[in-house]
């Protein structure tokens, strides 16, 4: 596979951009080698500067539910572009977007647009703190909620991949307000609340929120158990703690109404990103009106953004969500494709006598290079990341572009054809076989 142009671009990039990339997980650090520079995406494929073509499963880390450059999003963008890019003033489309999200996700009574998932999650935490008057919050080891200081404690995704789950630069003060629980372990939550109460003179807890990926994608795909989430909901009710579902990845991905539709559990706040931007930078946080009315200018919790709700991003996002509203069959199609791929991979593992864990919810999945199960953080991190690195490259040379990191999700789009999936299954067999030969 020719990579000359990517190599020379990367040499240039590292001179001006930290690590040569604008987001760490793109750098191939944990799989070895240097990143490929992409020139074009079309449907299920991407093309790099050296002319290589790949069937790809990153989907820009989740946004591309309909593959790259879907005509209906491109058309909406071009139309919006005619009227200008950003006004810094309210537009009708923002009202339509807010109404559409609340129609598709009933727990959303009110919503604020922002420009990234990180902005959404950090604003949700601040709002929960403002609403409850309490300071601490609980996150789960291995979950990733973006790069706001207080989240970068035992975080997943790129932080975990690079072995810096707790980042330098995060102050002790910030870290002190972040309480860490174990995913799928309700006793670890109860223990934190008990400890927090006994530490307070009042005997009441000082915990504003619990934030969770209801289906984790950032330790690889690990689904919360129904009982765990149900009990978490009950505890938050009893203890006056705001339950935040971070659906930046799962929102409109795993079902039309997101993970909360699958679990039939209503969070107090939900954060969104990725798919709601249709490939442009959009995040959002929303939920109960009485909580969201705390957000400036209706309430005292300040939150702002120059380009929040800008016309181009809203046009792309509104087109994506309108398509979802008008075509609920999209999720049946995605389920068929994803189940087909899962079955092919599991058949391969069986015939190669490999017992790696393969987790999937809807069109997001992870093949963990760990024997047995990956049903929480502790089991997921036992994965052999070096072996994953070799697998990644064996797939890449066969024209399949996966996440360059074990602790990520692979995403299938509506545009992945049976031919793409068959090619992927064949490459998977040859790649896993090659690993055992080496």
| Cβ 64 to ligand KE4 shortest distance, Å | 13
Instruction: State which of positions 139-158 bind ligand KE4 (CB under 6 A).
Output: 144-146, 157-158
Considering only the stretches 72-80, 113-121, 292-300, 414-422, report the one whose residues sit in contact with ligand KE4 under the rule CB under 6 A.
113-121
The number of C-alpha atoms within 13 Å of 122 and in the hemisphere containing its C-beta is 18
Q: Catalytic one among 150, 154, 177, 246? A: 246
Neighbours of 194 (CB within 10 A): 11
Label residue 110 left, alpha or beta by phi (over 0 means left) and psi (-120 to 50 means alpha): beta
Annotated active-site residue 136? The verdict is: no
Task: Pick from 9, 25, 316, 431 the residue near ligand KE4 by CB under 6 A.
Answer: 25
CA distance 309 to 90: 8
Count of residues that bind ligand KE4 according to CB under 6 A: 21
**Choice between 130 and 146, CB closer to ligand KE4:** 146
Which residues are CB-contacts of 123 (< 8 A; sequence separation ≥ 6)?
112, 114, 285, 295, 303
Tell me if 211 sits within 8 A of 123, measured CB to CB. no
Confirm or reject binding of residue 35 to ligand KE4 (CB under 6 A). Answer: no
Instruction: Indicate whether 213 belongs to the interface with ligand KE4 (CB under 6 A).
Output: yes
101: number of Cβ within 10 Å: 22
Closest distance between ligand KE4 and the C-beta of residue 247, in Å? 7
Query: Which one of residues 48, 268, 408, 415 is an interface residue with ligand KE4 (CB under 6 A)?
Result: 408
Give which of 214, 213, 174, 179 is closest to 196, Cα–Cα: 179
Least distance CB 122 / ligand KE4 (angstroms): 9
273 or 311, CB closer to ligand KE4? 273
Q: Is 118 in the site for ligand KE4 (CB under 6 A)?
A: yes
Catalytic residue list contains 268? no
How far is Cα 338 from Cα 167, in angstroms, rounded to an integer?
Answer: 35
Which residue of the chain is nearest ligand KE4 when measured via CB? 117
Q: Is 381 in the site for ligand KE4 (CB under 6 A)?
A: no
Binding mask 264-293 for ligand KE4 (x = CB under 6 A): ---------x---------x----------
Q: Which of 57, 131, 144, 401 is catalytic?
A: 144
Q: Say which of 136, 139, 274, 337 is annotated catalytic.
A: 274
- CA–CA separation, 372 and 93 (whole Å): 48
Q: Which stretch binds ligand KE4 (CB under 6 A): 116-124, 132-140, 258-266, 321-329?
A: 116-124
63 counts as binding ligand KE4 under rule CB under 6 A: no
User: Is 48 labeled as catalytic in the residue annotation?
Assistant: no
297 cis-preceded (ω within 30 degrees of 0): yes
In the complex with ligand KE4, the residue whose CB is nearer, 218 or 376, is 218
Buried b (16+ CB within 10 A) or exposed e, 338-365: bebbbebbeebbeeeeeebbbbbbbbbb
Segment 225-254, which members bind ligand KE4 (CB under 6 A)? Answer: 246, 248-249
Length of the chain: 438
Classified as helix, coil or strand, 349 is helix
The stretch among 125-133, 210-218, 262-270, 393-401 that binds ligand KE4 (CB under 6 A) is: 210-218
The pair of three-digit structure tokens given for residue 205, joined into one six-digit string: 């807890």
| Residues in CB range of 277: below 8 A, 6 or more apart | 63, 283, 313, 316, 317, 320
Q: Smaller CB distance to ligand KE4: residue 199 or 304?
A: 304
Tokens 């092919």 belong to residue = 344
Give the 3-state secondary structure of residue 320.
helix
Pick out residues in 170-209 that bind ligand KE4 (CB under 6 A): none
Which of 218, 303, 338, 406 touches ligand KE4 (CB under 6 A)? 218
Distance CA 246, CA 276 (A): 14
Distance CA 138, CA 54 (A): 40
Rule CB under 6 A: which residues touch ligand KE4?
Answer: 23, 25, 61, 116-118, 121, 144-146, 157-158, 213, 217-218, 246, 248-249, 273, 283, 408
Residues identified as active-site = 144, 246, 274
């Amino acid at each position: 596979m020719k990579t000359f142009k990517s190599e020379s671009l990367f040499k240039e990039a590292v001179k001006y951009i930290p690590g040569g990339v604008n987001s760490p997980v793109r750098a191939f650090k944990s799989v070895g080698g240097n990143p490929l520079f992409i020139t074009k995406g079309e449907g299920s494929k991407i093309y790099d500067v050296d002319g290589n073509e790949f069937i790809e499963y990153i989907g820009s880390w989740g946004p591309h539910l309909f593959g790259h450059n879907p005509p209906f999003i491109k058309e909406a963008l071009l139309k919006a572009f005619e009227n200008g890019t950003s006004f810094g003033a309210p537009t009708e489309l923002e009202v339509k977007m807010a109404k559409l999200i609340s129609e598709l996700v009933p727990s959303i009574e009110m919503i604020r647009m922002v420009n990234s998932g990180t902005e959404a999650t950090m604003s949700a935490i601040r709002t929960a703190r403002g609403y409850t008057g309490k300071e601490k919050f609980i996150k789960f080891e291995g979950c990733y909620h973006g790069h706001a200081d207080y989240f970068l404690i035992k975080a997943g995704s790129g932080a975990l991949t690079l072995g810096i789950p707790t980042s330098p630069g995060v102050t002790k003060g910030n870290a002190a307000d972040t309480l860490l629980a174990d995913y799928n372990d309700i006793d670890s939550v109860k223990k934190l609340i008990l400890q927090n109460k006994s530490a307070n003179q009042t005997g009441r807890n000082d915990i504003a929120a619990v934030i969770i990926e209801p289906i984790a994608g950032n330790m690889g795909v690990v689904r919360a158990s129904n009982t765990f989430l149900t009990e978490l909901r009950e505890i938050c009710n009893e203890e006056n703690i705001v339950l935040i579902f971070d659906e930046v990845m799962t929102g409109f991905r795993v079902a039309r109404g997101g993970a909360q539709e699958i679990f039939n559990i209503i969070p107090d706040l939900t954060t969104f990103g990725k798919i709601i931007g249709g490939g442009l930078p959009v995040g959002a946080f929303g939920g109960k009106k009485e909580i969201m009315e705390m957000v400036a200018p209706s309430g005292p919790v300040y939150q702002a953004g120059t380009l929040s709700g800008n016309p181009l991003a809203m046009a792309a996002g509104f087109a994506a969500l309108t398509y979802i509203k008008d075509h609920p069959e999209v999720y049946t199609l995605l389920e068929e494709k994803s189940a087909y791929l899962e079955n092919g991979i599991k058949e391969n593992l069986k015939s190669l006598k490999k017992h790696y864990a393969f987790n999937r919810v809807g069109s997001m999945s992870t093949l963990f290079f760990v024997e047995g199960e990956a049903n929480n953080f502790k089991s997921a991190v036992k994965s052999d990341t070096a072996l994953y690195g070799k697998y990644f490259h064996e797939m890449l040379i066969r024209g399949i572009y996966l996440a360059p990191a074990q602790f990520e999700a692979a995403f299938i789009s509506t545009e992945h054809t049976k031919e793409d999936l068959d090619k992927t299954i064949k490459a998977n067999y040859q790649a896993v076989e090659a690993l055992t030969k080496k």
